[in-house]
């Protein structure tokens, strides 16, 4: 197909996908369970962000060291383990990869509660990062085979709501637990050291993941692969060749996703510290409030965006990408203004509205990637984007914010200006590159329909 016979918008209705094995209630059960795993993947990250200040105090860390634990310690090993684990998912049983990874990172989360210094925390975070890299790509591939093509935005909205729910629950649960444990004195354990009340929270939230891993492994069905022609999967050089061949789509999309997640991970990880430094709200206050507001607003946006993508998808080949672009573009003013508000309630309000709009593109993004990719290549293509999000943006984002605060603003209290400035720079860059990816995606999407590949 050439650019001349494919367009971003078409007047011809898009044909629904043919029925496939593994659909129905069992397929939707698979979707919901991947959402539960997504919840668990966010618990440790949100709690770590919530306890930045007590962690700095008790382990004697700088902002830069904290940023390494928030970013690099997790993401370096994410990059190392992601490609082989995604290749394993493309070739084998995806549910086993997901369950095994969940069990290992849940154990590592428990060990975060016993960390006594920077390096012991670093090792636990490295294990979490390496094993979490296997879950996202395998889950996205599993979902693409579990539900019909035209229902994918809704399915990915459910999956992404797990990430949102995990982020919110980590703040709510972390804030509630630290409030309940506020009077618990430091516990001295021979051979280990001192366990403080905020460390107990890591132990309590890590244990349930072991039970969920068993449930996932033995109750989730493995759906048949739709449109698959390579049972052995694709080698890395073939995947890279595919990306290069579709560079008109993947180059701007990768850049857009990179700048988008710089904001998500780089700025979101510092939001609890921002509320504490700017307005005096400690973890017990900001955790539940920020968590509930984020959960409600982003979930509304996520499912609203999924519905919009489904409606637009009946007429427009670029519907998934179009919703992603609009969501990122329209959220810029609110997210940039939030940190500058004179009181925390106005800051929460701006963040809620901006987050709701920004979240509208999440389901369309996942659907676009998987609909544009051959079946046995989806894990490896997804891990490339996950590496952009979790490794590059997830590692550099928190560190850039810390370095700007330490070396440019030179004051903890000026974190708010660093956050707002980053939004004003990165937001327009994100929107521009996503806009550039819209037309190439429409061409690829239409071509795969005509080839009966989706």
User: Per-residue pLDDT tens for 327-352?
Assistant: 999 999 999 999 999 999 999 999 99
Specify the pLDDT at position 451: 79
Q: How confident is the model at residue 149 (pLDDT cuts 50, 70, 90)?
A: confident
Cα 413 to Cα 193: distance, rounded to the nearest angstrom: 33
- Is residue 206 domain-resident? yes
Question: pLDDT tens digit string along 82-102?
Answer: 999 998 988 888 999 999 999
- Is residue 232 domain-resident? yes
Identify whether the C-beta of residue 49 lies closer than 8 Å to the C-beta of residue 269.
Answer: yes
Q: How confident is the model at residue 273 (pLDDT cuts 50, 70, 90)?
A: confident
- Is residue 131 domain-resident? yes
Specify the pLDDT at position 202: 92
Specify the pLDDT at position 8: 42
Specify the pLDDT at position 19: 42
Question: pLDDT tens digit string along 373-426?
Answer: 988 888 899 888 888 876 778 778 888 888 888 888 888 888 999 999 999 999
pLDDT, averaged across the chain: 86
- Is residue 286 domain-resident? yes
User: For residue 169, what are its two tokens?
Assistant: 């629950």
Cα 119 to Cα 451: distance, rounded to the nearest angstrom: 52
User: For residue 350, what are its two tokens?
Assistant: 């701006």
Cα 371 to Cα 320: distance, rounded to the nearest angstrom: 10
Specify the pLDDT at position 229: 61
If one compares 250 and 52, the residue with the highest pLDDT of the two is 250
Nearest to 312 by CA among 428, 434, 445: 445
pLDDT at position 115 over 60: yes
* Phi, then psi, of 193 in degrees rounded to 5: 135, -150
Cα 279 to Cα 260: distance, rounded to the nearest angstrom: 27
Specify the pLDDT at position 228: 58
**Residue whose pair of structure tokens reads 């244990």 in the numeric block:** 207
Nearest to 220 by CA among 37, 379, 440: 37
Cα 154 to Cα 362: distance, rounded to the nearest angstrom: 10
- Is residue 435 domain-resident? yes
Which domain range does residue 321 map to?
20-450
- Is residue 48 domain-resident? yes
CATH of the domain at 383: 1.20.1250.20
| Most confidently modeled range among 189-193, 231-235, 301-305 | 301-305
pLDDT at position 266 over 80: no
Which whole number is the average pLDDT over 258-281? 87
Give me the sign of the Cα torsion angle 73, 79, 84, 87. positive
- Is residue 445 domain-resident? yes
- Is residue 126 domain-resident? yes
Counting the structural domains of the chain, the total is 1
Q: How many residues does the chain have?
A: 454
Contact partners, residue 305, CB within 8 Å, separation at least 6: 153, 157, 323, 327, 359, 360, 361, 362, 363, 364
């Amino acid at each position: 197909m050439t650019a001349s016979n494919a367009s971003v918008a078409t007047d011809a209705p898009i044909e629904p996908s043919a029925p496939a094995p593994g659909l129905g209630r069992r397929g939707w059960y698979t979707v919901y369970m991947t959402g539960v795993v997504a919840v668990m993947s966010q618990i440790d990250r949100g709690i770590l962000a919530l306890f930045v200040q007590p962690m700095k105090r008790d382990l004697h860390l700088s902002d830069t060291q904290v940023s390494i634990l928030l970013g690099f310690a997790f993401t370096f090993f994410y990059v190392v383990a992601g490609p082989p684990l995604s290749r394993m998912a493309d070739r084998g049983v995806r549910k086993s990869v997901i369950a095994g990874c969940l069990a290992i990172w849940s154990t590592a989360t428990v060990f975060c509660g016993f960390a006594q210094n920077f390096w012991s925390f670093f090792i636990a975070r490295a294990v979490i990062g390496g094993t979490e890299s296997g879950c996202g790509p395998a889950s996205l591939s599993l979902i693409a085979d579990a539900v019909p093509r035209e229902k994918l935005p809704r399915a990915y909205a459910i999956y992404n709501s797990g990430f949102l729910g995990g982020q919110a629950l980590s703040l709510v649960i972390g804030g509630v637990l630290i409030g309940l444990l506020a009077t618990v004195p430091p516990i001295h354990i021979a051979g280990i050291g001192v366990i403080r009340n905020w460390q107990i929270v890591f132990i309590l939230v890590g244990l349930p993941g072991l039970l969920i891993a068993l449930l996932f492994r033995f109750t989730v069905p493995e759906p048949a692969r739709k449109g698959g022609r390579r049972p052995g999967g694709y080698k890395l050089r073939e995947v890279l060749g595919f990306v290069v061949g579709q560079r008109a789509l993947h180059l701007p999309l990768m850049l857009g996703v990179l700048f988008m997640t710089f904001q998500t991970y780089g700025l979101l990880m510092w939001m609890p510290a921002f509320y504490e430094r700017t307005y005096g709200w400690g973890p017990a206050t900001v955790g539940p409030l920020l968590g509930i507001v984020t959960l409600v607003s982003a979930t509304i946006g996520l499912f609203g965006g999924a519905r919009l993508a489904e409606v637009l998808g009946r007429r427009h080949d670029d519907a998934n990408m179009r919703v992603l672009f609009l969501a990122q573009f329209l959220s810029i003013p609110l997210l940039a203004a939030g940190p500058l508000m004179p009181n925390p309630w106005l800051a929460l309000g701006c963040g809620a509205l901006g987050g709701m709009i920004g979240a509208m593109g999440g389901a369309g993004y996942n659907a676009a990637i998987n609909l544009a990719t051959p079946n046995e290549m989806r894990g490896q293509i997804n891990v490339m984007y996950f590496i952009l999000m979790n490794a590059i943006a997830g590692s550099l984002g928190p560190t850039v914010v810390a370095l700007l605060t330490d070396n440019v603003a030179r004051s903890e209290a000026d974190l708010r200006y660093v956050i707002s400035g980053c939004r004003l720079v990165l937001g327009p860059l994100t929107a521009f590159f996503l806009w550039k990816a819209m037309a190439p995606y429409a061409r690829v999407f239409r071509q795969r329909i005509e080839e009966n590949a989706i």
